[in-house]
Amino acid sequence: MGVGDVGADEPEHPASPTQTTSRYSLRMRALLVMATAVSLVIGAARGQAQIVRTADATVRGFSESDFPRLKKLAENVYAYEDLNGSIDGNLAFTTNSLIVVTTDGVLVADGQGSVAKTKRLVDAIGRLTTQPIRYVVVCADHGDHIAGNSAFPPSVTFIAHPTSKAAIERQKGTIPVPQETVSGRRTLRMGDTEIQILFLGRAHTGGDLQVYLPREGILFMGEVFFNRLYPSVGGNRSGRPIEWLETVKKAEAMKAKMYVPDHGFVDSAEVLNEELVNFRRALENLVSEGRRLHAAKTPLETAYRNINLGEFQYWYRAANNMPDALRQVYLEIEGKLP
């Protein structure tokens, strides 16, 4: 699906089923129609499609057959979105990969969650270019991004943070162990494209890497950034919300033109830049509420119910992800995380 026809991807919400024919409701409907028309004109004038700001594919009006989706971000740079779970499974958000095509091969940042899904990603790259995949950067070492890595060609070099390499080694499974590591920064030159692999600090996995394209101003954030998906510390509780917040601030300070999330939709650069700020605010809320409840000696079992998430309570999977995230804040405050 091309970038230009996003409007067709994002159906409007159906009208409310509770409509009466009273003069009042007719007047209200007329006002709503006018307001919608005005906002559509403003949106069109700005060249923006109307989108619902959520990671929930169902609410955005998608079905499973709409995935995977390929979005061109710049010349030879693509984001690839596949559905994480099933559309009715309460896991209806996207898992994203970055594809950088150069005259000296292809670099991919993060794979997908199964061999079949990553095979589909490899096939999509094969339709974009005849260049071979040379590098795969493991920005996030959780299964939803690496479980399919054996589907990449055997000649690929995997690059990960030492923490992620160790995590993959411990699994002793079929996932290829990264041959090379980056613990701070590494610059690759492929053809005339400069690609920086960065570690800005621990966040979701502990070995969180980012991929930055200085010429294009594109920063693929790995699992440091989810677009309108409540911060998750992962099934293995590797996330550290307090450090995560500082890592997001470092990414913001880079003033990239576009921040690409590992989960949630790859919207326009303008929307994503706003949503990175909102994601940082969600972490700030979690950390400040965690500190408040911890200082008041509120036991965790009670804190889950007393936390004030404000606007973030309505974010996709907030109810699922908040309890573990709050627990990690408590453990971080107490210095009990390894």
Given the complex with Zn ion, which of 142 and 161 has the nearer CB atom? 142
Decide: is 81 part of the binding site for Zn ion (CB under 5 A). no
Report the nearest approach of Zn ion to the CB of residue 263 (Å). Answer: 6
Six-digit token string for 288: 């400040």
**3-state secondary structure (DSSP) of residue 72:** strand
Six-digit token string for 310: 């404000």
Report the nearest approach of Zn ion to the CB of residue 142 (Å). Answer: 5
**3-state secondary structure (DSSP) of residue 158:** strand
Given the complex with Zn ion, which of 139 and 245 has the nearer CB atom? 139
Report the nearest approach of Zn ion to the CB of residue 78 (Å). Answer: 19
Report the nearest approach of Zn ion to the CB of residue 322 (Å). Answer: 17
Given the complex with Zn ion, which of 117 and 142 has the nearer CB atom? 142
Task: State the DSSP H helix or E strand holding residue 294, giving kind and residue range, or none if neither.
Answer: helix 269-295
Residue number with the smallest Cβ distance to Zn ion: 144
Report the nearest approach of Zn ion to the CB of residue 95 (Å). Answer: 6
Given the complex with Zn ion, which of 105 and 113 has the nearer CB atom? 113
Given the complex with Zn ion, which of 144 and 332 has the nearer CB atom? 144
Q: What are phi and psi of 83, to 5 degrees?
A: -75, 130
Number of residues that bind Zn ion (CB under 5 A): 2
Binding mask 125-164 for Zn ion (x = CB under 5 A): -----------------x-x--------------------
Q: Are strands 185-190 and 210-213 parallel, antiparallel or unpaired?
A: unpaired
**3-state secondary structure (DSSP) of residue 71:** strand
Buried b (16+ CB within 10 A) or exposed e, 154-172: eebbbbbbebbbbbbeeee
Rounded CA separation 285/122 (Å): 39
Report the nearest approach of Zn ion to the CB of residue 139 (Å). Answer: 10
Given the complex with Zn ion, which of 71 and 142 has the nearer CB atom? 142
Give 64's contacts (C-beta < 8 A, 6+ positions apart).
83, 86, 87
Q: What are phi and psi of 291, to 5 degrees?
A: -65, -40
Scan residues 24-43 and list those touching Zn ion (CB under 5 A): none
Given the complex with Zn ion, which of 76 and 84 has the nearer CB atom? 84
Report the nearest approach of Zn ion to the CB of residue 232 (Å). Answer: 8
Q: Which residues pair with 189 in a beta bridge?
A: 194
User: Residue numbers of the site for Zn ion (CB under 5 A)?
Assistant: 142, 144
